[in-house]
């Protein structure tokens, strides 16, 4: 249930309403919008007589939240959530440009790419240290040493860091090095991991699952928010369909749909969405035009010899050209890089 308090309700009175709801066994989450306190009460809502609640002092209204993803919804939190990471405010008029290699392969590679993407205009460096791969014989990442290299390279060029965590036991360790914890498509419904990052004090980048509906994706975000972490960035990275000419089908419909349903920022990964280098730029441009809050793009200075995903990685010069194009599109939309 969503309980709207009267505008101007004193903090002490708002706290009393929340306490009464908790005494009924409900979990209570709060947001404020245009001077009004909004409380979401979760759990067995039959424990209360809601007609009586509507007559409590300071309560203006009590209503059902009409979607299953309660805390993620705009019904609960009407304004856009903005997540500040380093020099970027994700979800604001500033587009978040995240770029870097699929995998951290070594010191020289990481520093070379960090320098190039920072020069082009990126504010966040991506790079995998733990790589969940389809084949057990493929490169699995450098682990904690890869995270250390990634952090040093990013710091050298003023970049924040996003890196994937694939296990509940890794969360605290990855959080020591990364500014954003990434949950990959295969872990979108790893509920133990969702709850673990929900307790972390770091923003979470949640990728859409390989065959997940939008509602399933938002419900995964709900697990994180209900665990206490409201700093969630949604990432559309393509879904698996019958089409074989691209790696995945990049669902750009999801951008306006999610922006209507949810207050969380949504970015797009056209590298995994297409899997083909020369398809990344057109889909990146389309994503920004469709309203995405940013891009997550793989860049490698020597993609032919990359240890993972070289075929979908842009050369640094290609990335720089793309950022220039994104600047033009952003200006038309009243946004900026």
Chain centroid to CA 197: 12
pLDDT of amino acid 309: 87
Domain extents in the chain: 2-63, 83-332
The mean pLDDT value for 200-216 works out to: 97
Average pLDDT, the chain: 96
The mean pLDDT value for 236-263 works out to: 97
Chain segment 86-127, per-residue pLDDT in tens: 999 999 999 999 999 999 999 999 999 999 999 999 999 999
In this prediction the pTM is 0.95
The three-state secondary structure class of 182 is strand
Question: What architecture is the 2-63 domain classified under in CATH?
Answer: 2-Layer Sandwich (3.30)
Q: What is the DSSP letter of 190?
A: -
The tokens describing 13, both together, are 């009175």
CA angle 150–156–157, rounded 5-degree value: 100
DSSP assignment string, 19-44: HHHHHTT-EEEEEEETTEEEEEEES-
Distance (Å, whole) CA 288 – CA 296? 12
The answer to whether 269 and 238 have CB atoms below 8 angstroms apart is yes
DSSP assignment string, 254-290: HHHHHHHHBSS-EEE-HHHHH-SHHHHHHHHHHHHHT
Q: Which of 169, 250, 194 is nearest to 69 (CA)?
A: 194
> Which listed CATH number (3.20.20.70, 3.30.460.10, 3.40.50.360, 3.40.50.2300) goes with 83-332?
3.20.20.70
Sign of CA dihedral 249, 335, 296, 200: negative
Chain segment 196-207, per-residue pLDDT in tens: 999 999 999 999
Element (H, E) at 154: helix 144-156
Confidence band, pLDDT 50/70/90 cuts, at residue 140: confident
The tokens describing 42, both together, are 């979760």
- In angstroms, the Cα distances linking 55 to 23, 49, 213 are 18, 10, 39
């Amino acid at each position: 249930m969503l309980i709207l308090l009267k505008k101007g309700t004193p903090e002490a009175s708002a706290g009393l309403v929340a306490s009464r709801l908790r005494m009924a066994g409900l979990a209570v989450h709060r947001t404020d919008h245009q001077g009004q306190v909004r409380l979401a009460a979760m759990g067995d809502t039959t424990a209360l007589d809601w007609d009586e609640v509507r007559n409590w002092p300071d309560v203006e209204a009590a209503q059902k939240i009409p979607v299953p993803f309660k805390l993620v919804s705009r019904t609960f939190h009407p304004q856009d959530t903005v997540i500040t990471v380093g020099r970027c405010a994700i979800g604001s008029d500033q587009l978040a440009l995240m770029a870097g290699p699929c995998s951290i392969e070594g010191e020289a590679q990481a520093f070379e790419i960090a320098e190039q993407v920072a020069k082009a205009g990126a504010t966040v460096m991506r790079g995998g240290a733990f790589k969940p791969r389809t084949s057990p014989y493929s490169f699995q990442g450098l682990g904690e040493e890869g995270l250390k290299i990634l952090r040093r390279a990013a710091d050298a060029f003023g970049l924040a860091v996003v890196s994937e965590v694939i296990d509940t036991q890794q969360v605290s360790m990855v959080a020591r090095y990364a500014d954003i914890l990434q949950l990959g498509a295969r872990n979108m419904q790893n509920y133990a991991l969702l709850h673990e990052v929900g307790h972390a004090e770091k923003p979470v980048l949640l990728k859409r699952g390989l065959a997940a509906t939008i509602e399933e994706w938002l419900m995964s975000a709900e697990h994180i928010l209900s665990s206490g972490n409201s700093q969630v960035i949604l990432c559309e990275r393509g879904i698996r369909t019958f089409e074989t000419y691209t790696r995945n089908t990049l669902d750009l419909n999801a951008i306006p749909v999610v922006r209507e349903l949810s207050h969380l920022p949504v970015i797009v990964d056209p590298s995994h969405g297409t899997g083909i280098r020369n398809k990344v730029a057109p889909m990146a441009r389309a994503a920004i035009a469709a309203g995405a809050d940013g891009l997550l793009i793989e860049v490698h200075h020597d993609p032919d010899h990359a240890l993972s995903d070289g075929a979908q990685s842009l050369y640094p010069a290609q990335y720089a050209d793309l950022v220039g194009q994104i600047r033009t599109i952003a200006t038309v939309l009243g946004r900026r890089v």
